[in-house]
């Protein structure tokens, strides 16, 4: 499987755009601050605090257009709750990607599936001195008193939770590729994540960042020939759980192919899906443990059983076709979108066996659990986003609450 071929990024003509849910794939230009929004109904008096989010918001720069939903320039959003009232503010993340775009009127830094035109020499040079953007449009984390916007490039961006102003690079990542979905370390209050170090000897590196530090401390590493695309990973009380889906890249292609980042990956189902367990205390690696090929973005949760097995719940797809389905042209045209499944993988480190089962009939992704209480532990409830099962082209349009003990769901949609 190969993804779309590279074309010069151009703005999307109005005639090809679709109404309704498609508005979520159009640029939001305005920044605003509203002290009190109209509330339909009544909020509980105990609800107090802020809900912070990031996401892609701007898909055009001058006459150029981003190609993929994951490319849009990041915007921060803050909903404030107090005394039954709701405030709102939004602000573009002041990343180097955004500032350069404003200054030049062009897409300057490479994105997930959009890459500025560069000569072969410049592409080869980036193998040794990569030019990374910091368009952190994927996820937000709170590390101690710090708030950080993240994406898959190694430049997490700290920002002020009240003003939404950027405050510089949060920490140094020991690699070129990483995940925007780290885990928090219960014991230290720090953060755990992985990075892929590319070079003559490619490695997966696992590292910890303390709450008050800008330095990453490597705790383990494993060699890898062709790094897999991994958007998240699992964590148990003992293990870091790495799921390598067979969507892999030859690092030399990243520099020399002339194609955007994600279009250098190849789907190789013959590799299967490989799980590796990294001991959080010793750094020892167990595995890989192999099962049938699949693909996924989001781990839900992971835990150990009394018998020593490792359970990893992941939202999965049959293959990596979902990546191509999220190109803006396809989303705006209402093309069919693969439906995700909530899958459970049970890994036996002693026997090396991996079993897999589907937990829910509904499509299910973008999962959320009661993280502080349930992560690393057996759990029962999970919330996520779902699709209309009768419409192959429907994007996420409903909230799904799942009881994994009874294997039942409740669904809310309009």
Measured CA to CA, the distance from residue 281 to residue 284 in angstroms comes to 8
Residues of the chain above pLDDT 70, percent: 91
CB-based contacts of 20: which residues, under 8 Å, 6+ apart?
none
**pLDDT top residue among 240 and 388:** 240
Q: Which two tokens stand for residue 45?
A: 């008096």
Report pLDDT digits (tens) over 71-108.
999 999 999 999 999 999 999 999 999 999 999 999 99
> In what helix (H) or strand (E) does residue 101 lie, and over which residues does it extend?
helix 96-104
Measured CA to CA, the distance from residue 186 to residue 175 in angstroms comes to 24
Report the 10 Å Cβ neighbour count for 336: 12
Check residue 389 and give its pLDDT. 83
Q: What length is written for the chain?
A: 414
Domains of the chain with CATH codes: 14-412 (2.130.10)
Check residue 325 and give its pLDDT. 96
User: What pTM does this model have?
Assistant: 0.90
Q: Per-residue pLDDT for 374 more than 80? A: yes
Measured CA to CA, the distance from residue 379 to residue 60 in angstroms comes to 42
Query: How many helices and strands in the chain, by DSSP H and E?
Result: 6, 29
Check residue 128 and give its pLDDT. 46
The structure tokens 């980042």 sit at 261
* DSSP structural state of residue 280: T
Q: Which two tokens stand for residue 9?
A: 């990024």
Q: Per-residue pLDDT for 16 more than 50? A: no
Q: Per-residue pLDDT for 226 more than 90? A: yes
Check residue 14 and give its pLDDT. 43
**Exposure letters 169-181 (e unless 16+ CB within 10 A, then b):** bbbebbbbbbbbb
Report the 10 Å Cβ neighbour count for 257: 16
User: Contact 354/306 with Cβ under 8 angstroms?
Assistant: no
Check residue 132 and give its pLDDT. 77
Q: Is 121 left (phi over 0), alpha (psi -120 to 50) or beta?
A: alpha
Read off φ and ψ for residue 197, nearest 5 degrees: -95, 120
Report pLDDT digits (tens) over 227-236.
999 999 999 9
Q: Which two tokens stand for residue 394?
A: 């429907």
Share the mean pLDDT of the chain: 90
Most confident of 19-33, 135-149, 186-200: 135-149
DSSP string, 146-203: EEEEE-SSS--EEE-TTT--EEEE----SSSEE-S--EE-TTTS-EEEEEEEPSSS-E
- The 3-state DSSP class for residue 399 equals strand
Q: How confident is the model at residue 13 (pLDDT cuts 50, 70, 90)?
A: very low
Check residue 10 and give its pLDDT. 47
Q: Per-residue pLDDT for 122 more than 70? A: no
């Amino acid at each position: 499987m190969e993804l779309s071929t590279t074309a010069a990024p151009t703005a999307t003509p109005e005639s090809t755009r679709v109404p309704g849910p498609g508005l979520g794939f159009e640029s939001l230009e305005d920044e605003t601050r509203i002290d009190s929004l109209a509330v339909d109904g009544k909020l509980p008096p105990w609800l107090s605090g802020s809900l912070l989010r990031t996401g892609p918001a701007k898909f055009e720069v001058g006459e150029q257009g981003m190609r993929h939903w994951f490319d849009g320039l990041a915007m921060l959003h803050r909903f404030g709750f107090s005394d039954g009232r709701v405030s709102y503010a939004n602000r573009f993340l002041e990343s180097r990607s955004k500032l350069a775009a404003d200054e030049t009127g062009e897409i300057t830094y490479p994105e997930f599936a959009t890459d500025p035109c560069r000569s072969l020499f410049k592409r080869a040079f980036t193998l040794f001195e990569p030019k990374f953007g910091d368009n952190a449009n994927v996820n937000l984390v709170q590390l101690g008193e710090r708030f950080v916007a993240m994406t898959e490039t190694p430049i997490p961006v700290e920002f002020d939770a009240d003003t939404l102003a950027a405050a510089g690079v949060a920490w140094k990542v020991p690699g070129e590729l990483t995940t925007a979905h780290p885990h928090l370390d219960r014991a230290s209050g720090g953060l755990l994540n992985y990075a892929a170090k590319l070079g003559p000897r490619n490695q997966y590196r696992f590292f910890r960042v303390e709450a008050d530090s800008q330095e990453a401390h490597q705790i383990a590493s494993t060699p890898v020939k062709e790094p897999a695309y991994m958007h998240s990973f699992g964590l148990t009380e003992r293990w870091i759980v790495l799921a390598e889906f067979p969507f892999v890249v030859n690092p030399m292609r990243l520099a020399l192919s002339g194609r955007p980042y994600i279009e250098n990956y190849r789907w190789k189902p013959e590799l299967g899906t490989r799980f590796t367990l990294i001991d959080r205390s010793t750094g020892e690696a167990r595995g890989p443990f192999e099962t049938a090929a699949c693909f996924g973005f989001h781990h839900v949760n992971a835990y150990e059983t009394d018998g020593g097995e490792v359970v990893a719940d992941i939202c999965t797809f049959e293959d990596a076709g979902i990546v191509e389905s999220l190109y803006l042209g396809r989303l705006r045209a209402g093309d069919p979108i693969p439906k995700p499944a909530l899958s459970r993988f049970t890994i036996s480190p002693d026997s090396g066996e991996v079993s897999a089962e589907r937990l829910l009939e509904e499509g299910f992704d973008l999962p959320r659990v009661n993280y502080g209480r349930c992560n690393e532990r057996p759990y029962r409830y999970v919330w996520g986003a779902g699709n209309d099962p009768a419409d192959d082209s429907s994007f996420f349009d409903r909230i799904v609450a799942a009881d994994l003990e009874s294997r039942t769901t409740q669904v809310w949609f309009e």
